[in-house]
Amino acid sequence: MERRPDFAKGLSIGIIMDGNGRWAKKRGLPRTAGHKKGAEVFKDITRYCNELEVASVTFYAFSTENWARPMEEVNAIMKLFGEYLTAAYDYQKENNRVVFLGDRSPLSEKFKAQMEEIETKTAHNTGTTLNVAINYGGRQEIVRAAQILARRVQQGTLKPEEINEQLMSDCMYTTGQKDPDFILRPSGEHRLSNFMLWQASYAEFVDMDVLWPDFTRADLDRAIDEFNHRSRRFGGI
């Protein structure tokens, strides 16, 4: 596939990293092995997005519903997240801006302090914005935004009739960022799974029959190329 100079520049991409458990099961390995391999793919695709000059990429790392998984698996995912937080300081060298989306309250104080420090240190970087959705749920995010605006109404600084889409967007975790151009879901599934429900209102959906641990840079190229051939009308003709 021949790439144009602007093949991916300026795009905003959402990625649902799916299929880690199935990848491990197919190989007779524990599910934790799939998450470990998936974390390696995450790091490589992050670097590739930066090389392609993608504006932002949002990875669905851990949902609000994932706490219901076996404790061994949850602990393994959190261990990998902790390792990522330690390694994330490398993204400062790569000029990535790192933002964490989701409810941080259940996370350890150590994690929360590291997340805040990483966001602060990378806030003025000009490369790809790397959003990591951890303990994230799209409905929870919308409820949170409504609560923020309700408090402003209660305080008398906002009238109910003044609430509009822009104000809601400004209260999302992704405030100030471009909405995703497309949502990518490997693994062959065809659902959003509570991911970026507000932001994805006009995003294209690209699904691929490849498990996340097997996902490559060439797969991302194919997904971007498919998106670039879509006709986006945003409700028009």
Q: Are 189 and 168 in contact (CB under 8 A)?
A: no
Q: Please, what's the b/e burial string for 133-153 (b: 16 or more CB within 10 A of its CB; e: otherwise)?
A: bbbbbbebbeebbeeebeebe
* Cα(197)–Cα(191) distance, integer angstroms: 11
139 is in an annotated binding site: no
151 is in an annotated binding site: no
Any catalytic annotation for residue 66? yes
Please name the residue that has the structure tokens 């003709």: 237
Q: Are 194 and 137 in contact (CB under 8 A)?
A: yes
35 is in an annotated binding site: yes
18 is in an annotated binding site: yes
21 is in an annotated binding site: yes
Neighbour order of strands in the sheet with 182-185: 97-101, 129-136, 56-63, 12-16, 182-185, 204-207
63 is in an annotated binding site: yes
Catalytic residue among 6, 44, 50, 66: 66
23 is in an annotated binding site: yes
Catalytic residue among 18, 96, 135, 207: 18
* Cα(95)–Cα(128) distance, integer angstroms: 8
189 is in an annotated binding site: no
Q: Are 180 and 206 in contact (CB under 8 A)?
A: no
65 is in an annotated binding site: yes
Any catalytic annotation for residue 18? yes
Specify binding-site residues for Mg(2+).
18, 204
Specify binding-site residues for substrate.
19-23, 31, 35, 63-65, 67, 69, 185, 191-193
- Catalytic residue list: 18, 66
Specify binding-site residues.
18-23, 31, 35, 63-65, 67, 69, 185, 191-193, 204
